[in-house]
């Protein structure tokens, strides 16, 4: 009943946005990836809360609107009198003049008619017919409702539209004939509904209905025509796949499947049927030996969705040996995003008693995949022949957790740990390093006898690593663990030098820091000032997170000495660090009493934490400096809320500056518009339903606290006080998520006790921590429902109207970024214009290749790039990709994987925007071999004809050398749309060559142009003279791709820990460019139009 663009889409009620979102689902291994499309509707009423959506018999969407000013229970708890309980509403969302449905009674229909309805184009009829058929199959349908055997919950749901549902099973209990028909339907036997002459006449009536709709006349479907509509669907198209699936769900909903039929479903050519066959086996538990054997064999099924169901069912089927099945699943699931987690949830309980058996299974020849001869013989790999027996990536990724879980058992099997570490060291140095770190982290939590046995088992492994490895991260980890076990001597000065050296990778420096902490080396304190004064903010955050394990009271002296020099956003983290141990906290208080540190550095939560301790002198110091501290919520905060509300309504700040205040002050814990921390709630759509609610949440944060955000203090036996949110709590460990980069794992036997606070982690008294101007700017930013750079941003209800003066249309900036959760949208204005247009979008789907698309012309009218073209679906607008990296293909991503990790920064100026993104190249075995850092700068259009994009590409090798093999394509690439029936692309390079003559030729620059309608547009890419092997060899194909290839001239190697930079400029322009025009543009970029090709040194 809706236009075709809504077909095969999912719709979801957005309760915070008052909208119905539309998503297109794409298979992503065992799960799905949702791609957002245009909303079905967005309400103009902030109270709208679409909580439930259903398709009705008329094909329309029925929407249940909760309709309340408060979208979250904790917000409603702040104002119980303001909760509306009377205005819930129900909407019917129709397309044009869709007629209403007649009164129908599907329960009175025959089995054949209901089977025909399983192929209806309306899901209401398919699901309702499925449910009635399940009920007719017999009383076994009742327990199926609790099993949840299909997305439609067959066998368990009745629908108010179907008035005859109570009669659906009368006299029809467990019909063998019906069961046989459904089984035949599932297995592919065509079933042709019988039509009487009168039914044929009624079917013709449907064309009249269609005509009436087309003419705009409303006409109700008659009961007969509605029934025949679904019959026609089945007759005209044959028995569709959906109909067969509904038939299968009806059978599963009625109880255990017939064993012979079950085996046929498990052997079906369609993986969806096999997956449902496995799921049914798990749901019903008692299976025949033949079914159990078939399910076990499907652990190696090539389909991820089948493997997923095998992992889920492995411990639910009685008499099933789950351990080898889970091992098989992990060995064959590749780099699937979901399966390893599901398999681990089923596996880790078994490791309590069967860890040695599991390790022997994964070490066996059958669990080790062989790679191709090309990959095994790649040049320059330091591990040589060992790669001929590669390690499945899922098992490799889980190996550190397996080590940790084995050592957490009541009776650890130490020899299994040693065997696993030896196996890892032979195949995967990075995973072996993680396994050694896992052992190190457990040493303080295991008993003396276990430690002694572990030492004996690991001794030969560690000695071999220290004898054969060189100065690598694996060597450092082995050295650290050996020293802690008393098996080796370590030179602390050499380790300290690694920690302080800015030339080392951050991961290596942090590993050296862990070693210095473990050795209790006094040189660490002397080295810290240099590191804290020169390190990046990200590195300093991670350093603070590690320093909590230091036990030296003098650490506080060092941190206090460096405190004034720290960036403002790092100073709160320094205070949090000093609050972790009582001696440090005492020195912190002494500094406040001596006026060496401002009182504002300590918030109410810090002071309450001190009051919870037993240090009497510290208690006295707190009262002397701060007076009496409340241990409960301060009821006086209500007055503060009122006073600050009145003030902020009269003093309006700048929303653009407020964004920076948020990043520096709030972003440590909270996220908004896709950037910020994860400790507190994401406030993009939470806590800002109105200006009054925003005031209450900020100035009275402890009035109502959501259960997920109750702050806890974990007091450890080794003297630490860790305050944050409990991210994980089980028999083996607790994980505390703290502000900044801090996430601390505490072994369960090191937990002394845990306190849950009745107060928010967000401190009271923000009005004393920020000056008035910063508060004004912060609230101007938070009072808008979108970023201040978005011209459609509106004030939240109740916000002062004058704040609109800070809207983007008044800003002097001609270009801005609108950050989203998974993409950045760049909007810009032409000189002298007031309206902004969409210029480009940066897609940064987590775990996938990021790219720019769509990229538009300077007027924002024409999309000049193409995403996932049918001829080359791995190409995406403007993107990077590499082919032969250590022998693997990362260009097509069919072997290696290129993935977005995170944004490193995001910046705006009046005439340009820029950001840095971190990417990783992940080998088939799951190891990150290369880091890629992309800096993308988009300049505001200089005219209606052109604008510039600068692209800096920085490659950083990790722990091993990275080899780039010669190939005809690789690096930064631009893909323009291509019309195969009418190809009109053309190329021009700096040597004057055109079209296909540009292919694989060296040049300082190259472009691609084509007509779009009556106008021609182009994109030129300039290769900076400082780039290696400039001028580059170019890929310039007939489909509209241009690529300054980094590997066109031959193989090259990036040594471990080293970097290589490539700089490019892209000119996006309208019209046909001449060689002279582009040569001048190249000269502005720092080039020389007369440069000649040079041979590789």
pLDDT in tens, 1061-1078: 999 999 999 999 999 999
Do 389 and 428 touch, CB atoms closer than 8 A? no
Mean pLDDT of 574-592: 89
Q: Which residue has the higher pLDDT, 41 or 851?
A: 851
Note the pLDDT of residue 125. 95
The whole-number pLDDT of residue 229 equals: 37
Q: Distances from the Cα of 1018 to the Cαs of 647, 862, 1042, in angstroms?
A: 53, 11, 11
632-701+762-803 and 815-1084, same CATH topology: no
Residue 475, token pair as written in the block: 């060597």
β-partners of residue 933 are 918, 954
pLDDT of amino acid 704: 66
Average pLDDT, stretch 408-428? 92
Q: What's the confidence (pLDDT) of residue 487? A: 84
**Does the pLDDT at position 390 exceed 80?**
no
Whether the predicted pLDDT of 897 surpasses 80: yes
Could you report the per-residue pLDDT of 70-124, keeping only the tens digit for each? 777 766 766 777 787 888 899 999 988 888 888 889 999 999 999 999 999 899 9
CA 694 to chain CA centroid, Å, is: 28
User: Model confidence at 37, in pLDDT bands (50, 70, 90)?
Assistant: confident
Phi and psi, residue 699, nearest 5°: -95, -15
Q: Are 1083 and 996 in contact, with CB atoms under 8 Å apart? A: no
What is residue 631's predicted lDDT score, i.e. its pLDDT? Answer: 62
55, containing H or E segment: strand 50-55
Confidence of residue 931 (pLDDT cuts 50, 70, 90): very high
- Work out the average pLDDT over 1008-1017: 92
Say if residues 298 and 326 touch (Cβ distance below 8 Å).
no
User: Do residues 658 and 778 touch, judged by C-beta distance below 8 A?
Assistant: yes
- For residue 1043, the model assigns a pLDDT of 95
Q: What angle do CA 780, 786, 789 make, to 5 degrees?
A: 80
- Calculate mean pLDDT across residues 24-38: 88
pLDDT band of 368, cuts 50, 70, 90: low
The full 3-state SS of 565-609, as one line of letters, equals HCCCCCHHHHHHHHCCCHHHHHHHHHHHHCCCCCHHHCCHHHHHH
Q: Is the pLDDT confidence value at 282 over 70? A: yes
pLDDT value, residue 981: 67
Predicted local confidence at residue 754, as pLDDT: 86
**Range in 295-309, 389-403, 682-696 the model is least confident about:** 682-696
pLDDT (0 to 100) of residue 493? 85
174: left (phi over 0), alpha (psi -120 to 50) or beta: left
Q: Quick one: pLDDT at residue 632?
A: 67
Domain regions of the chain by residue span = 4-93, 106-183+190-254, 256-347, 632-701+762-803, 714-760, 815-1084
pLDDT at position 189, please?
Answer: 56
Return contacts of 930-936, CB within 8 angstroms, 24+ apart. 930/885, 930/955, 930/956, 930/957, 930/958, 930/962, 930/1054, 931/955, 931/956, 931/958, 932/880, 932/898, 932/956, 933/904, 934/850, 934/880, 936/842, 936/852
CA angle 189, 194, 197 (to 5 degrees): 155
CATH architecture entry for 815-1084: Distorted Sandwich (2.70)
pLDDT score recorded for residue 741: 59
Q: Which pLDDT belongs to residue 804?
A: 41
| Distance in angstroms (rounded) separating the CA atoms of residues 1033 and 1048 | 5
Residue 812: per-residue pLDDT: 63
Cβ atoms of 606 and 572 within 8 Å: the answer is no
Q: Is the pLDDT of residue 206 over 50?
A: no
Task: Please check the confidence at residue 1097 and state whether its pLDDT lies above 70.
Answer: no
pLDDT at residue 17 greater than cutoff 60: yes
**The two structure tokens encoding residue 758:** 């009745």
Residue 425 scores a pLDDT above 60: yes
How far apart are the C-alpha atoms of 99 and 186, rounded to whole Å? Answer: 33
Mean per-residue pLDDT, 741-752: 78
Looking at residues 920-924, what average pLDDT do you find? 89
What's the sign of the alpha-carbon dihedral 290, 296, 297, 299? positive
Average the pLDDT over 324-331 and give the result.
96
- Express each pLDDT in 372-384 by its tens digit: 332 333 233 333 3
How many other C-beta atoms are found inside a 10 Å radius of the C-beta of residue 169? 17
Residue 346 has pLDDT above 60, yes or no: yes
Query: Could you tell me if 840 and 858 are in contact, meaning their C-beta atoms sit under 8 angstroms apart?
Result: no
pLDDT beyond 60 at 579: yes
Q: What are phi and psi of 1017, to 5 degrees?
A: -130, 155
pLDDT category, 623, cuts 50, 70, 90?
confident
Mean pLDDT for the stretch of residues 202-223: 35
Q: Judge if the upstream peptide bond of residue 1031 is cis by omega within 30 degrees of 0.
A: yes
Higher pLDDT, 767 or 272: 272
Question: How confident is the model at residue 807, as a pLDDT?
Answer: 40
Helix axes 271-284, 241-253, angle to 10 degrees: 10
For residue 858, pLDDT beyond 90: yes
Residue 379, number of CB atoms within 10 A of its CB? 10
Report the alpha-carbon distance of residue 835 to residue 538 in Å, rounded: 37
% of the chain exceeding 70 in pLDDT: 84
- Do residues 114 and 133 lie in contact, with contact meaning Cβ atoms separated by under 8 Å? yes
State both tokens at 700.
């009275």
Q: Which residues, 6 or more positions from 736, have their beta carbon under 8 angstroms from its beta carbon?
A: 712, 714, 722, 723, 724, 725, 726, 727, 742, 743, 744, 746
pLDDT in the model for residue 376: 33
In the prediction, which pLDDT does 230 show?
38
Per-residue pLDDT tens digits for 283-315 = 999 999 999 999 999 999 999 999 999 999 999
Res. 141: pLDDT tops 50: no
pLDDT given at position 706: 64
Most distant CA atoms of the chain, gap in Å: 100
pLDDT at 159 over 90: no
pTM equals 0.64
Task: Grade residue 466 by pLDDT with cuts at 50, 70 and 90.
Answer: confident
Helix axes 506-519, 537-547, angle to 10 degrees: 20
Query: How far apart, in whole angstroms, are the C-alpha atoms of residue 937 and residue 1087?
Result: 19
Q: Which residue has the higher pLDDT, 950 or 142?
A: 950
Residue 165 has pLDDT above 60, yes or no: no
Give the C-alpha separation, 436 to 414, whole Å: 13
Residue 736 has pLDDT above 80, yes or no: yes
**pLDDT at residue 222, as a whole number:** 40
Distance CA 778, CA 665 (A): 10
273 pLDDT exceeds 50? yes
pLDDT of residue 869: 87
Pairing of strands 928-939, 912-922: antiparallel
Q: Is the pLDDT of residue 818 over 80?
A: yes
Choose the weakest-confidence range: 229-238, 446-455, 681-690: 229-238
Q: What is the mean pLDDT of the chain?
A: 81
**CATH: 1.10.760, 1.10.3470, 3.10.450, 3.40.1000. Which one for 632-701+762-803?**
1.10.760
Higher-pLDDT residue of 484 and 409 is 409
DSSP state at residue 1: -
**446: pLDDT strictly greater than 90:** no
Which segment of 560-574, 608-622, 871-885, 898-912 scores lowest on mean pLDDT?
Answer: 608-622
- Give the model's pLDDT for residue 472: 67
Are 590 and 582 in contact, with CB atoms under 8 Å apart?
no
pLDDT for 228 equals 40
In this model, does residue 215 exceed pLDDT 80? no
Q: DSSP of 618-677, one letter per residue? A: HHHHHHHHH----SS--TTHHHHHHHHHHHHHHS---HHHHHHHIIIIITTT-EETTEE-
> What pLDDT is stored for residue 384 in this prediction?
35
């Amino acid at each position: 009943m809706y236009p075709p663009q809504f077909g095969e889409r999912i719709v979801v009620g957005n309760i915070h946005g008052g909208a119905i979102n539309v998503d297109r689902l794409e298979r992503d291994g065992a799960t799905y990836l949702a791609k957002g499309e245009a909303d079905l509707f967005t309400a103009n009423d902030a109270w709208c809360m679409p909580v439930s959506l259903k398709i009705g018999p008329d094909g329309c969407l029925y929407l249940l609107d909760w309709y309340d000013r408060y979208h979250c229970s904790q917000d409603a708890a702040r104002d119980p009198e303001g909760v509306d309980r009377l205005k819930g509403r129900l909407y019917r969302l129709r397309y044009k003049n869709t007629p209403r449905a007649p009164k129908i009674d599907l329960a009175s229909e025959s089995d054949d008619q209901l089977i025909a309805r399983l192929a209806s184009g309306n899901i209401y009829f398919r699901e309702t017919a499925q449910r009635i058929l399940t009920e007719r199959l017999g009383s076994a349908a009742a327990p199926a409702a609790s099993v949840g055997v299909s997305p439609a919950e067959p066998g368990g749901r009745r629908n108010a539209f179907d008035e005859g549902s109570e009669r659906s099973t009368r006299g029809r209990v467990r019909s063998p004939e019906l069961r046989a028909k459904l089984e035949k339907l599932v297995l592919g036997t065509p079933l042709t509904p019988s039509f009487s002459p009168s039914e044929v006449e009624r079917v013709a009536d449907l064309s009249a209905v269609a005509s009436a709709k087309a003419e705009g006349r409303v006409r109700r479907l008659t009961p007969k025509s509605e029934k025949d509509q679904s019959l026609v669907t089945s007759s005209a198209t044959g028995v569709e796949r959906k109909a067969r699936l509904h038939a299968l769900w009806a059978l599963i909903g009625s109880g255990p499947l017939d064993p012979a039929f079950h085996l046929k479903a498990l052997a079906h050519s369609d993986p969806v049927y096999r997956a449902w066959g496995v799921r049914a086996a798990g749901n019903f538990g008692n299976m025949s030996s033949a079914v159990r054997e078939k399910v076990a064999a499907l652990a190696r099924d090539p389909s991820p969705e089948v493997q997923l169901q095998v992992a889920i069912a492995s411990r639910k089927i009685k008499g099933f040996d789950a351990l080898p099945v889970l091992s098989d699943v992990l060995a064959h699931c590749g780099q699937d995003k979901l399966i390893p987690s599901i398999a681990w949830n089923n596996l880790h309980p078994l490791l309590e008693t069967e860890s040695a058996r599991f390790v022997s299974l994964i070490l066996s020849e059958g669990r080790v995949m062989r790679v191709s001869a090309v990959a095994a013989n790649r040049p320059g790999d330091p591990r040589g022949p060992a790669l001929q027996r590669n390690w499945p990536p899922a098992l490799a990724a889980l190996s550190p957790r397996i080590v940790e879980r084995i050592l957490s058992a009541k009776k650890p099997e130490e020899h299994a740990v040693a065997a696993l570490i030896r196996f890892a060291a032979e195949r995967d140095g990075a995973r072996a390093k993680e396994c050694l770190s896992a052992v190190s982290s457990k040493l303080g939590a295991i008993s003396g006898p276990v430690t002694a046995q572990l030492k004996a088992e690991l001794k030969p492994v560690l000695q071999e690593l220290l004898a054969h490895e060189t100065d690598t991260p694996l060597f450092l980890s082995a050295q650290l663990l050996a020293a802690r076990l008393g098996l080796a001597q370590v030179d602390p000065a050499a380790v300290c030098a690694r920690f302080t050296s800015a030339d080392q990778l951050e991961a290596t420096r942090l590993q050296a820091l862990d070693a210095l902490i473990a050795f209790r080396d006094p040189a660490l304190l002397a080295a810290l000032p240099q590191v804290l004064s020169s390190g990046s903010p990200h590195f300093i955050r991670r350093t603070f997170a590690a320093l909590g394990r230091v036990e030296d009271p003098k650490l506080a002296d060092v941190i206090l000495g460096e405190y004034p020099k720290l960036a403002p956003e790092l100073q709160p983290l320094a205070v949090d660090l000093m609050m972790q141990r009582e001696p440090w906290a005492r020195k912190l208080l002494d500094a406040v009493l001596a006026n060496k540190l401002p009182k504002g550095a300590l918030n109410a939560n810090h002071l309450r934490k001190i009051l919870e301790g037993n240090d009497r002198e510290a208690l006295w110091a707190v009262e002397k400096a701060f007076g009496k501290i409340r241990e409960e919520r301060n009821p006086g905060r209500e007055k503060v809320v009122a006073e600050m509300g009145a003030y902020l309504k009269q003093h309006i700040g700048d929303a653009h500056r407020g964004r920076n205040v948020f990043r520096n002050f709030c972003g440590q814990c909270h996220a908004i518009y896709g950037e910020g921390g994860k400790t507190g709630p994401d406030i993009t759509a939470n806590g800002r339903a109105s200006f009054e609610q925003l005031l209450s949440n900020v100035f009275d944060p402890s009035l109502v606290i959501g259960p997920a955000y109750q702050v806890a203090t974990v007091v450890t036996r080794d003297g630490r006080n860790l305050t944050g949110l409990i991210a994980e709590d089980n028999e083996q460990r607790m994980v505390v998520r703290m502000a900044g980069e801090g996430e601390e794992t505490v072994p369960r036997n090191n937990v002394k006790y845990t306190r849950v606070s009745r107060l928010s982690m967000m401190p009271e008294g923000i009005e004393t921590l920020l000056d008035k101007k910063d508060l004004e700017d912060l609230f101007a930013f938070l009072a808008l429902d979108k970023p201040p750079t978005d011209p459609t941003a509106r004030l939240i209800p109740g916000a002062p109207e004058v704040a609109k003066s800070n809207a983007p249309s008044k800003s002097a900036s001609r270009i801005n970024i609108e950050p989203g959760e998974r993409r950045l949208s760049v909007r810009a204005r032409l000189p002298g214009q007031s309206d902004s247009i969409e210029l480009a979008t940066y897609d940064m789907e987590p775990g996938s290749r990021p790219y720019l698309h769509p990229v538009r012309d300077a007027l924002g009218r024409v999309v000049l790039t193409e995403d996932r073209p049918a001829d080359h679906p791995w190409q995406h607008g403007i993107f990077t990709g590499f082919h032969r990296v250590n022998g693997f293909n990362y260009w097509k991503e069919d072997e290696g994987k290129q993935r977005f990790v995170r944004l490193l920064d995001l910046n705006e100026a009046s005439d340009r925007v820029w950001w840095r993104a971190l990417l990783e190249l992940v080998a088939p075995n799951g190891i990150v071999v290369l880091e890629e850092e992309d800096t993308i700068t988009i300049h505001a259009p200089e005219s209606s004809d052109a604008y510039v994009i600068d692209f800096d590409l920085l490659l950083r090798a990790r722990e091993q050398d990275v080899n780039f093999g010669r190939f005809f394509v690789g690096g930064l690439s631009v893909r323009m749309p291509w019309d195969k029936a009418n190809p009109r692309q053309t190329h021009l390079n700096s040597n004057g060559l055109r079209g296909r003559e540009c292919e694989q030729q060296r040049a300082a620059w190259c472009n691609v142009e084509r007509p779009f309608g009556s106008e021609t547009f182009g994109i030129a890419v300039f290769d900076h003279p400082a780039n290696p092997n400039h001028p580059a060899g170019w890929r310039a194909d007939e489909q509209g791709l241009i690529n300054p290839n980094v590997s066109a001239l031959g193989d090259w190697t990036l040594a471990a820990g080293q970097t290589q930079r490539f700089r490019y400029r892209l000119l996006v322009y309208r019209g046909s460019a001449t060689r002279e025009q582009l040569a001048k543009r190249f000269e502005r970029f720092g080039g020389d139009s007369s440069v000649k090709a040079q041979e590789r040194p």
